[in-house]
Amino acid sequence: MFERFTDRARDVIKGAQVEARELHHRYIGTEHILLALLGDSGGLAATVLRDAGVLPEQVRADVLAAVGSRREPLGVADAEALRAIGIDLDAVREKVEETFGEGALEPPPTYPLRRRGIFRRVQQPPTPSAGHIPFSPRAKKVLELALREALHLKHKHIGTEHILLGLIREGEGLAAMVLTDAGLRLEDLRRHVLDAMDRAA
């Protein structure tokens, strides 16, 4: 499927992975795709989103408020509440990592076990910072819907506009929630994307 993506659309997919890494998430979700679309300053999708009043800074803040960062596992609201009573999570994290090593506060991973003779060996999973970050089921659905949108419109390529249409059509992920919470109607946004595609043709 990715061979049909334009260079700009491929850059958005790579950008979604960067967004997930920067937020220390172990998955690429619809929210990371939305952030990457907004980061593509010259793309049709970014233009439509900006014209609709969607700002990358606000989307990032809304995403952090909803799911937090892996470095802030409690979420932004909980971290703020602890700071209000004088607990500095960054200072606590630094002291713990200084004493016990980097990542000491990370939850223990669950590893699949493989049988080797009479002993069981632990297979280490790839770390997100070192390799590929998997797409969440909703993000995969967005990409599938982007392909369907391109086919429906009889386009031979998949551009950022098709990714945005797929994100709108999926309609239930965090990206859709952030957009609707900002006061946008997904049907109106879809119409704006289609209008912009007609003008660009």
DSSP for 77-130, written as a single string: HHHHHHHHTT--HHHHHHHHHHHH-TTTTSPPPP--EEEETTEEEEPPPPPTTT
CB atoms within 10 A of CB 194: 15
DSSP for 11-65, written as a single string: HHHHHHHHHHHHTT-SSB-HHHHHHHHHH-TTSHHHHHHHHTT--HHHHHHHHHH
Which tokens sit at 131? 């390799």
Q: Please enumerate in sequence order all residues whose Cβ is within 8 A of that of 57, keeping only pairs 6 or more positions apart, or say none.
A: none
Q: What is the pLDDT of residue 40?
A: 79
Q: What is the pLDDT of residue 200?
A: 77
Q: What is the pLDDT of residue 145?
A: 92
Q: What is the pLDDT of residue 57?
A: 84
Contact 54, 35 (CB under 8 A): no
Q: What is the pLDDT of residue 196?
A: 86
122: which strand partners? 113
Divide the 201 residues of the chain into consecutive groups of 10 and give the mean pLDDT of each group. Answer: 79 89 85 89 84 84 72 55 74 72 56 49 45 83 91 88 91 86 87 86 70
| Rounded to 5°, angle at Cα 2 from 201 and 169 | 65
Q: What is the pLDDT of residue 126?
A: 42
Q: Please enumerate in sequence order all residues whose Cβ is within 8 A of that of 77, keeping only pairs 6 or more positions apart, or say none.
A: 65
Domains of the chain, each with CATH number or no CATH: 2-70+133-150+161-169+186-200 (1.10.1780.10), 74-105 (no CATH)
Q: What is the pLDDT of residue 59?
A: 83
Q: What is the pLDDT of residue 41?
A: 75
Q: What is the pLDDT of residue 171?
A: 87
Q: What is the pLDDT of residue 165?
A: 92
Q: What is the pLDDT of residue 144?
A: 92
Q: What is the pLDDT of residue 103?
A: 58
Q: What is the pLDDT of residue 129?
A: 46
